[in-house]
Amino acid sequence: MNTNVSIITIGDELLIGQVIDTNSAWMAQELNKWGIRVIRRVAVGDNWNEIWNALDEESKKAGIILITGGLGPTADDITKPLLCEYFGGKMVMNAEALENVTCLFETVFKRPLTERNIKQAEVPNNCTLIPNKRGTAPGMWFEKNGCIYVSLPGVPHEMKGMMENTVIPMVAERFQFPKIEHRTLVCYGIGEAMLADLTADFESGLPPEIKLAYLPHDGMVRLRLSSYDVKNHNNLERTFQSLAKIVGTYLIATADQTMEEILASLLISKSQTVATAESCTGGYIAHLLSKNPGSSAYYAGSMVTYSYEAKEQLLGVNQSTLIEYGAVSEQVVKEMASGLLNRMKSDYAIAVSGILGPDGGLPDKPVGTVWMAAGDTKEIITKKIHLRFNREKNTQVAAMHAMNLLRAYILKH
């Protein structure tokens, strides 16, 4: 039997770009952990014929079709009646789903149950119910001509709970999946093409079951080795170690980690903390450093100081320094970092000040100029970069460089 997965996402909002599909990426990641391979992802609108055709077509390519979206209580949600007709069932009230809806309204939403909510507990009589503990729309599992079809809500939080609690265990129990393994390392300070020249001989010598991929992102390049149907783990591990040796000093992590995770691991290993003083990045570094559970172990806090006044009052930057050199200068980021260390009592500080655009450039400081500082009470190092992207991407890349500056500082001391 074909155990490849195709994911169908349903909703006009996906086709007019009002919503970014994060569900598919999450589903693919989770399925991969179990050795389940996604071969296609298809997005279609809230349109009867297009959904129907997608079901027909994807079932020719994949043995497991995961469908998200279109299960809400409103008229634009047509997935449930469509699946009912597609599989030739008829709609019946499901006692388990009804109990769940009733309980959610009584204990969580604390609102009266309407006719429309009750109707959400109806499902086709020829499906297996997939309970949804986090919402009112139940999931459905159908089988037809050796193919499995699973329909889940598009609300990420609900879909995730149902995948973890029911769908993946049910699929994994049914099949023996071939092993897929990925190992990723992260390089910094080298472009994709130069990296490919470095690894050219290595890549041409790879065994057929191992594939190398290059994923450039925000100034870093991730190299991913994927092993399909491996007989032993050692081969991938050996190959990965050779690759790590080849990239040498460009290597900054031997796992698929973001820069904030790399910096966090380093700080945790030394039981030290960092605080940030942000001007142009506006709290983005703070957000990155605090978003993971347990971040209070290494992250002390942040001051986001947009104005001259805030830099003076909150961080103790000298007015004369601001006037003489301007807010985007080596002198100011140094004073921001040392002022922060005085006030926050963290082991390390990161400070950033720049012009991220689209406006605000000066003759000697064009849009994209960013000064950053990192260090501790003993020494503060600085760096200037020139970014050439839009505001959003400039913010991301500036944050990445600033965190890397501290990473390099810690490793040298």
Which range, of 241-249, 262-270, 354-362, 401-409, touches its own copies by CB under 8 A? Answer: 354-362
Per-residue string for binding with its own copies, 77-106, x by CB under 8 A? ------------------------------
| Kind and range of the H or E run holding 183 | strand 180-188
Q: Is 384 in the site for its own copies (CB under 8 A)?
A: no
Instruction: Please report, as residue ranges, which positions from 29 to 88 form the binding site for its own copies (by CB under 8 A).
Output: 29-30, 32, 37-46, 50, 57, 72-76
By CB under 8 A, name the one of 59, 68, 136, 331 that touches its own copies.
136
Q: Is 27 in the site for its own copies (CB under 8 A)?
A: yes
Q: Is 207 in the site for its own copies (CB under 8 A)?
A: no
Could you give the CA distance from residue 6 to residue 67 in angstroms, rounded to a whole number?
9
Cβ pair 305, 333 in contact under 8 A: no
Least separation, in Å, of the C-beta of 39 and its own copies? 7
Specify the amino acid at residue 83.
L
Token readout for 389 is: 């992207």
Least separation, in Å, of the C-beta of 320 and its own copies? 21
Nearest to 355 by CA among 329, 318, 383, 319: 329
Q: Is 202 in the site for its own copies (CB under 8 A)?
A: no
Cβ pair 322, 343 in contact under 8 A: no
Residues near 63 by beta carbon (within 8 Å), at least 6 away in sequence:
1, 2, 3, 4, 5, 146, 147, 148
Residues near 123 by beta carbon (within 8 Å), at least 6 away in sequence:
80, 91, 92, 94, 97, 129, 138, 140
Q: Is 263 in the site for its own copies (CB under 8 A)?
A: no
Cα-trace Rg, the chain: 26
Token readout for 269 is: 């290993």
Reduced to 3 states, what is the DSSP secondary structure of residue 296?
helix
Q: Is 110 in the site for its own copies (CB under 8 A)?
A: no
Least separation, in Å, of the C-beta of 289 and its own copies? 8
Residues near 103 by beta carbon (within 8 Å), at least 6 away in sequence:
none
Residue 89 or 283: the one with the smaller Cβ distance to its own copies is 283
Residue 89 or 228: the one with the smaller Cβ distance to its own copies is 228
Q: Is 214 in the site for its own copies (CB under 8 A)?
A: yes
Could you give the CA distance from residue 51 to residue 264 in angstroms, rounded to a whole number?
44
Least separation, in Å, of the C-beta of 55 and its own copies? 13
By CB under 8 A, name the one of 96, 164, 192, 209 that touches its own copies.
192
Residue 239 or 395: the one with the smaller Cβ distance to its own copies is 395
Q: Is 345 in the site for its own copies (CB under 8 A)?
A: yes
- Residue 392, CA distances (Å) to 20, 142, 309, 357, 395 in order: 16, 43, 25, 9, 5
Could you give the CA distance from residue 139 to residue 68 in angstroms, rounded to a whole number?
9
Least separation, in Å, of the C-beta of 315 and its own copies? 10
By CB under 8 A, name the one of 145, 176, 231, 359 that touches its own copies.
359
By CB under 8 A, name the one of 10, 14, 351, 372 that touches its own copies.
14
Could you give the CA distance from residue 139 to residue 127 in angstroms, rounded to a whole number?
9
Specify the amino acid at residue 196.
A
Q: Is 155 in the site for its own copies (CB under 8 A)?
A: yes
Least separation, in Å, of the C-beta of 364 and its own copies? 19
Least separation, in Å, of the C-beta of 387 and its own copies? 11
Q: Is 261 in the site for its own copies (CB under 8 A)?
A: no
Q: Is 201 in the site for its own copies (CB under 8 A)?
A: no
For 357-406, the three-class secondary structure string (H helix, E strand, C coil) is CCCCCCCCCCCCEEEEEEECCCCEEEEEEECCCCHHHHHHHHHHHHHHHH
Could you give the CA distance from residue 378 to residue 223 in angstroms, rounded to a whole number?
36
Positive or negative: CA dihedral 156, 161, 162, 164: positive
Which range, of 151-159, 261-269, 322-330, 400-408, touches its own copies by CB under 8 A? Answer: 151-159
Instruction: Please report, as residue ranges, which positions from 314 to 333 form the binding site for its own copies (by CB under 8 A).
Output: 314
Q: Is 178 in the site for its own copies (CB under 8 A)?
A: no
Q: Is 383 in the site for its own copies (CB under 8 A)?
A: no
Least separation, in Å, of the C-beta of 79 and its own copies? 14
